[in-house]
Chain A
Amino acid sequence: MINEEPNKETKELLKQAIAPARDAELRRDLWPQMLARIEQQPHPLSSVPWFDWALAAILGAVLIFFPRSIPVLLYHL
């Protein structure tokens, strides 16, 4: 069974070693950083790695030049 009140001795030791941070206040406005973060957001297409584009191009070429491979591909999907 779990004690409602954890070991008081351990808790007291902990509180003496690590003080509560309740009084820590934010001293500056973080909105400029937030705005910069939003503006850094990459365009959805540019965030796709080049390797994925290469794979898509290879797959497209295979499907165009070897249309008989389409059922095989569909079977494995």
Chain B
Amino acid sequence: MELLEQFAAGDLEAFEVLFRQHQKEVYAWIVRIVRDTGIAEDLTVETFWRVYKFRARFKPGGNFRAWARRIATNAALDHLRHARRETALPENLPCAARPDSAVRGEARDRIRKAFYELPAKYRLVATLALVEEESYGDIARAVGISESLVKVRVFRAVRMLRKKLNFLGVGVTAK
């Protein structure tokens, strides 16, 4: 019996093998969304817990990586919906601004504040599309929506962000 079949049948050892194969990738995906390494670790465990719990729904011929990524995205989205908006960037993520950045200090804080105030579903696609530069296709597959809807959400997120930034006094050209 193949690994995925063993996993779907409830074999804990097969699940452990899959966990060890995919935990880094799932973690890396989640940390891009939630931007906090500690929370990303917890959500990685939560993701695999859901994977294990719903193993019977997985078709052994299917793509485990894509399935796990989608579950991870849902877990991260659940977190964004329930977490406080003013989540600070942890220090162990890369520096928030490049040394040559034109955006410094207070302006950077305002941009981050405005960004973290976006509704979760917009913040999710905006983070992946604008900050992480993931393709619309990858985002669509991970979130479980069409590419067109990803584009709509990114467009709306940018519009909301511009409004907020103008309100906060960070000049962004209206379009």
Contacts and interface: CB of A to CB of B under 8 A. Distances in A.
Interface of A: 2-4, 6-7, 9-11, 13-26, 29-31, 33-34, 37-38
Interface of B: 12, 16, 19-20, 23-24, 27-28, 31-32, 35, 37, 40-41, 44-45, 48-49, 52, 89, 92-98, 101-103, 107-108, 111-112, 115, 126-127, 129-133, 148, 151-152, 154-155, 158, 161-162, 165, 170, 172-173, 175
B48 A20 contact: no
A30 to B, nearest CB: 6
Contact of A17 (B20, B23, B49, B97): B97
Given A11-B158, A14-B131, A34-B45, 12 more contacts: A4-B151, A7-B172, A13-B103, A13-B170, A14-B130, A19-B95, A24-B93, A25-B24, A26-B27, A30-B48, A31-B23, A34-B48
B37 A24 contact: yes
Nearest to A36: B45
24 contacts: A2-B151, A2-B155, A3-B155, A7-B172, A13-B172, A14-B115, A16-B101, A17-B97, A17-B107, A17-B112, A18-B89, A18-B115, A19-B94, A19-B95, A21-B132, A22-B28, A23-B94, A24-B27, A24-B31, A24-B93, A26-B27, A26-B28, A30-B19, A34-B19
Does more than half of chain A's interface fall in helix, strand or loop, or is it mixed? loop
Contacts of B102: 16
A47 to B, nearest CB: 13
B103 A37 contact: no
Contacts, number: 124
Given A19-B93, A30-B41, A6 B173 contact: no
A16 B40 CA distance: 22
